[in-house]
Structure 1
C-alpha cells in the first residue's frame, strides 16, 4: 500500500509571514524576492505516523530517496527547469539532501522555480532544519546547469555546496547540527508547503538529474525508493526509472 505524506512543520512566525504575504499585492512579491512565500516551511517529509515512506507516493516529493544505512554525503547535477506561469501562484523546488524522510533533521540545498502574479521567479537556497531555509542572492535562470553536494564528517559538521556552472558562481555553506539522523539521502523535485499544507505545484515540464550519488556511490546501489507525487487520485509528477544507477527525470503532470 502506498503511503501518502506531506510536510506539516512550520512555525507561528512563518505562518504570520505567510498571512501577511497573502494580503500583499502580487507585484510586491515579484519585486522583493526575499519575501516569497517559499521556502518558508521545512522540506522535511513526514508520514502520517512519523515513519519513512516505504512505497512510491508522496503528496509533495518526486524523485529518489535512499534509506537503510548511515549517509554522510549526497551529490547530483541538474538543469534548472523553466516554469509556465498563469495568473495563479505556484511553486517548485529542485534539491539534494540528507535526512528529511521520516527524520527530525534536514540538511539540503537546491533551486526554486515559482510563479507569482503571472511572472516566473528563480532562486536558490539551503536549509538546516529546524532553522529556517535561507535564500541565496545569486542569479538563477532557466537552463542553468547546477552541481551540488551535501556532506558531513559524521560528527555534526556539514558542508553544503551549490554551483551554477553556467553563470560561474558557487555557494559553500558550513553549518553544525549535532543531532542529525543521517538516515536518508534524496534527490527531489518538490511542491513546497506552508502552514496550510502543500502549495500548488508550478508547471516546470521536466527536471533532469544526473550523477546522483550517495556515500560516493551511484544512488541506485542503495535500492532507493522511486517516488511519484500525487494527491488523492491526482498524479502531480512522475519519476522515471534510474539510468545507469544515477540519472533520472521528473515530469510535471498536474498542479
Structure 2
C-alpha cells in the first residue's frame, strides 16, 4: 500500500488544496504519518441551531479556532485519553493532536498520538511535526487508556516548544524548534484520519475520544467561537464532534472507516 502521510483538512471556505510528497517510513510497525495544511470540503455553516459554527472535512474532526481581527495564536493545549481501536482485516489509521496553524496557512506545528490497525493488529504511538519538515515519532510505550497532555507554544518570533506527556506511562517529551514563516493564524484540537497523495485513508474505529482542558492563548477554546468540524466523505459521516462543554471539553465519535 502507499506510504501514508497525515494530511490535515480544514473547514474554512478560503482554503485551497495543498499536496505534499509521501514521507519515508520510519522504524515502526507502520510507515510514518505526516500532517499538512488543511483543505476545505464545505463552507462553514454559521448561526446553527446550537450556536456553533459548523464545517465538514474529509479527514478532520474536532475544533478549529481562527481569528477575524488579526489575533495571533501563540499557544494551544488539551488533554485526552488514548482510545483503543477495533481492528478488522483492513488497515486503518487515526491520530489525536493539538496544533497551531494549518487552517489558513501552509505550515502546521503539532504533536499528538496515533491509533492504527496493521494486518488486524492495533499499533499505538506518538509523534511531533513541524510541517513541512518530516514528522518524528517518539518510541515510548503508548497504550489504550493512557492520559495525554499536549501543548504547542511559541514566542511569536519563530521559536516553538512542543510538549507531549503520557502521564500514565510517566514520560514527557519537550521539543524546541524554529520556524520563521509560521503565520500563527489558527489553533486546533483534532482527531484525524491520515492520507496519502492519493487521498484520505480509512479511519480506524477508535470508538470515542474525549478531549478536555482545550485552550488557545490561555483561554478556553470556546472563547474564540471555533468551528465544530465533522469528518465526512461522499455524504457519509466518518466522525462526529460533540458540542463544547464549559467551553473547553468535547468528544469525537467514530462512525465509519470510509
Q: TM-score, normalised by structure 2?
A: 0.86
For the Cα contact (< 8 Å) 1:191–1:198, is it kept in 2? yes
Superposition pairs of residues 160-239 of structure 1, within 5 angstroms: 160-239=162-241
Candidates 70, 85, 103, aligned match of 2:87: 85
After the TM superposition, which parts of structure 1 deviate over 6 Å for at least 4 consecutive aligned residues? 2-7, 51-54
Give the Cα separation in 2 of the matches to 1:110 and 1:199.
18
Structure 1 match to 2:7: none
Seen in structure 2, the aligned counterparts of structure 1 residues 38 and 196 have a Cα distance that, compared at 3 Å, is farther
1:10 counterpart = 2:7: no
Displacement after TM superposition at 1:38 (Å):
3.9
Displacement after TM superposition at 1:52 (Å):
9.1
How many pairs align? Answer: 236
Local SS of the residue matching 2:222: helix
For the Cα contact (< 8 Å) 1:7–1:193, is it kept in 2? no
1:42 counterpart = 2:52: no
1:66 counterpart = 2:65: yes
Superposition pairs of residues 138-177 of structure 1, within 5 angstroms: 138-177=140-179
Which consecutive residues of structure 2, in runs of 5 or more, have no partner in the other structure? 1-10, 46-52
Displacement after TM superposition at 1:46 (Å):
2.4
Q: TM-score, normalised by structure 1?
A: 0.86
Displacement after TM superposition at 1:127 (Å):
0.6
For the Cα contact (< 8 Å) 2:73–2:187, is it kept in 1? yes
Give the Cα separation in 1 of the matches to 2:255 and 2:41.
25
Structure 1 match to 2:248: 246
Displacement after TM superposition at 1:3 (Å):
6.4
For the Cα contact (< 8 Å) 1:229–1:237, is it kept in 2? yes
Give the Cα separation in 1 of the matches to 2:235 and 2:61.
16
Which has more helix, going by share of residues? Answer: 1
Which consecutive residues of structure 1, in runs of 5 or more, have no partner in the other structure? 19-28
Displacement after TM superposition at 1:45 (Å):
1.0
Deviations 1:235-254 (A, max 9, x none): 00000000000000000000
Give the Cα separation in 2 of the matches to 1:10 and 1:52.
25
Structure 1 match to 2:49: none
Displacement after TM superposition at 1:185 (Å):
0.2
Superposition pairs of residues 99-114 of structure 1, within 5 angstroms: 99-114=101-116
Displacement after TM superposition at 1:194 (Å):
1.0
Structure 2 match to 1:134: 136
Give the Cα separation in 2 of the matches to 1:207 and 1:38.
22
Displacement after TM superposition at 1:8 (Å):
4.5
Give the Cα separation in 1 of the matches to 2:219 and 2:151.
13
Backbone CA RMSD of aligned residues: 2.3
For the Cα contact (< 8 Å) 1:62–1:238, is it kept in 2? yes
Give the Cα separation in 2 of the matches to 1:6 and 1:207.
29
Local SS of the residue matching 1:126: strand
